[in-house]
Structure 1
Amino acid sequence: MKCEHCGRRNHQKGDCYYYKQVLTKQEQNPGDKQPPQSKLANTDHFAFMMTGCDENLQNDTPTSVVFILDSGATDHMVNRDDVFTSWSVLSPPLQVAVAKTGEFMTATKRGLIQVTTTLGFTGTLQDVLFTPQATTNLLSIRRIQESGMKVVFDQGVQVQDKTGKTILKGKTYNGLFGVKFRISKNMTESGSTLLVRNSDNFRLWHERLGHISNGKFQQLKRCQMAGNMSDLNKIMPTNDLCEACLYGKEARLPFNKNKNKSHVKRPLYIVHSDICGPITPSTLSCQNYFASFIDDYTHYTVTYLLTYKSELCKVFKDFVAKSETHFSLKLENLYCDNGGEYLPNEVKEFCLEKEIAFHLTVPHTPQQNGVAERMNRTITEKVRSMLSSADLDKSFWGEAVQTATYLINRTPTKALNTNKTPHEMWHNRKPQLNHLKVFGSTANNHFKTINQ
């Protein structure tokens, strides 16, 4: 499914955020023409440059490249693809508008370039467009500033990092400011990412962390709530629109919190549970439900995929055995709704045997089991966002539920009055995030050959 207005996936023209903005402006200004087909909104297929091409600015060598700084360029651009350390083909190609001439050029590749500045700083230029028709390589001032760096025009041009250190110097080329890099085809572990588009980095981590909110991302950084956060500390949240989040997060009234409930003092004193489903379509393994168990003290969540509701007792026993072994503590209270899945004698007999107090809510009042209800709502919202962003079939909701639970346990929550994640509260160690990939990313599966 692709929008006819903006060209993006996962929605139609009638639901398009950009199209609705155009219609709103048209209603406010009735004299305007019918809303045109959007081009600038479609950033996947359109770019912009201010500087026109000049044959006299080509000063490249096989081991170096000269860039002209362009305040109007939306992207870094090069006219030779032999400088790329790695690249991917753009399908379809991007149309690049040249403001000076009004003409269009085509970018056919996007990649990264390993560079060394004349001051000896090593790093990478990311998301560089290959535009073969151009005779000038362009360095986008906008991208530099988005990465948190500063461009200073004083006796030439300088680029300063966030600490004020000058990492790049340039001079004028036929009246235009330019900089020169040495290039290397080999990726090295040393050096930093140089002049990276910050919004791209944040969008990547926004998706890796299950479409985390800006506020929670800031809290994660500010309170250093995960281990080895050197990569995340460089990234600043942006206000870029995430259509998958708009699709996934439904409008709803908040649950009223039970202010009379005393705060528990240890894990497993209270556990909340709920079942969500039936969900259609079934997963690839024929599951139709998921059950969640949330520890009130740590707010750590465990989810199980179920084919039938009758499997609840089996997974509850598994949760009790593993959690009690983990803490060497006894589960005291189970809070759940008055659904039929919690009423069979098998569940009651198990709670009686384990001396677990069994608390059922009044029928049709999910707010009484608000912790579990809110958690299931949070999980399902993340699932919708992740499936939409990855453009995956809905039958992958089971994998998305498990991934969403994994990420929720490793990110901040307002339910805890502490600068710790549920994972740290449960395992007594900070979570590691460097291994995370965006849900739905391409992966290779290796099958071991027997007797090889």
Structure 2
Amino acid sequence: MNEGITEQLLKLDLKSAKKDESFNNNNKNYRGRGRGQGRGRANEQERDFNNNNQEREENSTRGRGRGRSNSRYEKSQVKCYNCNKFGHFAKECRAPKSKVNEKVNYVEEERKEDDILLLAYKNNEKCEDGTWYLDTGASNHMCGKRSMFVELDETVGGNVSFGDDSKIEVKGKGNILIRLKNGNHQFISNVYFVPNMRSNILSLGQLLEKGYDIHLKNNYLFLKDNIGTLIAKVPMSRNRMFLLNIQNDVAKCLKACYKDVSWLWHLRFGHLNFGGLELLSKKEMVRGLPCIKHPDQVCEACLLGKHFRKSFPRESSSRAQKPLELIHTDVCGPIKPCSLGKSNYFLLFIDDFSRKTWVYFLKQKSEVFGIFKKFKAAVEKESGLKIKAMRSDRGGEFTSKEFQEFCEANGIRRSLTVPGSPQQNGVAERKNRTILDMARSMLKSKKLPKEFWAEAVSCAVYLTNRSPTRSVWGMTP
């Protein structure tokens, strides 16, 4: 009887030894601290599984103890045999075995090429025109459709390198017009035109250079402008990318404008906004002006010529009660290239009471004092009034000794802005912007050389003096 018990004990020891050996070799089974076996999960590469575990993705063992042990295999150190990335197994890899279908950043440098662009690109994925990938690996914004550009400089070249070692030539750089949620329009500027590229790319690096703030939190990308206003909140997609849907807009073709009366008068008034044209028509400020209707389209030349900038105050702290009580002045330039008359600057004088504007063209800033004396003599003789005050910045052309002595001798009070605060001379600064916007729009619409800028500025001043302004409601300067 004792021999039988001994034999049974020996068999139990042999079974226990085999179990321990299997545990140490395969490292697949885990035991809980309860009286029975614990329940756990572990995954291995297919090539490492034995015949009993190849058909199962997870191994589970059940225990009958009070507690339960849930031990998970640490995947952070696991390298996928298919894509050579860490964090998952080959059978979990989403990339096909033939080639990787994940987004990659590919860098290739050649000294002979001027522009080799970094690109994060996903193969075999179709992209709608309004979908843009926000990419930290791209050095520039890129788009593959010529029709999306409202302005394109085809002299810009270079190459884009893709993840499959292919290259596509850059055929230009330009601006793309988009419509914001509030109905306003804006440009995506300095976008490279890469023909046949499937995806539109927004370079986060290029946005950072322009002062945008980019913040990642809780699987969202937050994009803010330079004053902290939230521009976009982009969720992370399943493939860990950030896609932004932007509505592309098409500008009104100028060739189709001439048959439309409203568009025709918009062009005649130097691309004056349609609100101003409607006011001219309703108040009958202009003889022969027909009824103006605000169109749904946007003017291509206006968008190209009128840039969005930080606004200046529309109103000064105190308004003049009579003409020539206060004159605002400012010099704009140097402007390249020089005009047909070899001028590099233009000088504006604005009457605070009526907002009437005078323009003079200069080759050098040193001519300002002489021009001011001519301007003073002309307007005082024409109106029969005297200039009482003048507001300007602290440029050397306005603070010279001879200028100061002349103003004191003629009873002209000077008002100089604080250094670094152009907003204090907001009337002149804003008028500069209005004149330049109109001039650029006219040159763009007619495709004239930049050397005609002085003629365009002169025409713009003539038109603004005959256009409505909020500062003088119901009348023109």
Q: Can you list the C-alpha shifts for 1:71-99, whole angstroms capped at 9, x where unaligned?
A: xxxxxxxxxxxxxxxxxxxxxxxxxxxxx
Instruction: Give the counterpart of 1:357 among 375, 393, 413.
Output: 413
Deviation at 1:5, TM superposition (A): 3.0
Partner of 1:348: 404
Partner of 1:201: 261
CA contact (8 A) 1:278 1:289 kept: yes
Partner of 2:311: 254
CA contact (8 A) 1:386 1:400 kept: yes
* Sequence identity percentage: 40
CA contact (8 A) 2:150 2:175 kept: no
Residues 213-362 of structure 1 aligned to structure 2 (within 5 Å): 213-226=273-286, 228-229=287-288, 232-256=289-313, 261-362=317-418
Runs of 4+ in 1 over 6 A off after TM superposition: 18-24, 40-45
Partner of 1:33: none
Deviation at 1:224, TM superposition (A): 1.0
CA contact (8 A) 2:251 2:300 kept: no
Instruction: Establish whether residue 419 from structure 1 lines up as the match of residue 470 from structure 2.
Output: no
CA contact (8 A) 2:315 2:471 kept: no
Deviation at 1:221, TM superposition (A): 0.7
For 2:251 and 2:368, locate their aligned partners in 1 and report how far apart those are by CA, in whole Å: 47
For 2:319 and 2:458, locate their aligned partners in 1 and report how far apart those are by CA, in whole Å: 28
- Which one-letter code corresponds to 1:238 in the other structure? P
**Higher Rg of the two aligned structures:** 2
CA contact (8 A) 2:327 2:391 kept: yes
For 2:439 and 2:252, locate their aligned partners in 1 and report how far apart those are by CA, in whole Å: 25
CA contact (8 A) 1:10 1:388 kept: no
For 1:377 and 1:214, locate their aligned partners in 2 and report how far apart those are by CA, in whole Å: 18
Unaligned runs of 5+ in 1: 29-37, 46-126, 128-196, 423-452
Residues 398-437 of structure 1 aligned to structure 2 (within 5 Å): 398-416=454-472, 418-422=473-477
Instruction: Establish whether residue 368 from structure 1 lines up as the match of residue 424 from structure 2.
Output: yes
For 2:446 and 2:405, locate their aligned partners in 1 and report how far apart those are by CA, in whole Å: 43
Change (3 A) 1:286 1:348: same
SS in 2 for 1:239: coil
- Which one-letter code corresponds to 2:146 in the other structure? H
For 1:243 and 1:262, locate their aligned partners in 2 and report how far apart those are by CA, in whole Å: 37
Deviation at 1:234, TM superposition (A): 3.8
Q: Can you list the C-alpha shifts for 1:333-373, whole angstroms capped at 9, x where unaligned?
A: 01110011111222122212211112211111111111101
For 1:18 and 1:255, locate their aligned partners in 2 and report how far apart those are by CA, in whole Å: 25
Unaligned runs of 5+ in 2: 1-143, 154-172, 180-186, 189-197, 201-233, 236-247
CA contact (8 A) 1:362 1:368 kept: yes
Change (3 A) 1:257 1:381: closer
For 2:299 and 2:199, locate their aligned partners in 1 and report how far apart those are by CA, in whole Å: 20
For 1:247 and 1:355, locate their aligned partners in 2 and report how far apart those are by CA, in whole Å: 44
Change (3 A) 1:236 1:41: closer
> Per chain length, whose mean CA-contact separation is higher, i.e. which structure has more relative contact order (CA < 8 Å, sep 6+)?
1
For 1:41 and 1:222, locate their aligned partners in 2 and report how far apart those are by CA, in whole Å: 27
- Which one-letter code corresponds to 2:369 in the other structure? C
CA contact (8 A) 2:359 2:461 kept: yes
Residues 374-385 of structure 1 aligned to structure 2 (within 5 Å): 374-385=430-441
Deviation at 1:248, TM superposition (A): 1.2
Normalised TM-score (structure 1): 0.51
- Which one-letter code corresponds to 1:224 in the other structure? E
Deviation at 1:414, TM superposition (A): 1.0
Normalised TM-score (structure 2): 0.49
Partner of 2:100: none
For 1:212 and 1:346, locate their aligned partners in 2 and report how far apart those are by CA, in whole Å: 40
Change (3 A) 1:284 1:233: same
Aligned-pair Cα RMSD in Å: 3.8
For 1:44 and 1:264, locate their aligned partners in 2 and report how far apart those are by CA, in whole Å: 40
Residues 58-69 of structure 1 aligned to structure 2 (within 5 Å): none
CA contact (8 A) 1:206 1:213 kept: yes
SS in 2 for 1:17: strand
Change (3 A) 1:316 1:389: same
CA contact (8 A) 1:301 1:405 kept: yes
CA contact (8 A) 1:18 1:41 kept: no
Residues 15-30 of structure 1 aligned to structure 2 (within 5 Å): 15-17=175-177
For 2:456 and 2:448, locate their aligned partners in 1 and report how far apart those are by CA, in whole Å: 10
For 1:235 and 1:271, locate their aligned partners in 2 and report how far apart those are by CA, in whole Å: 34
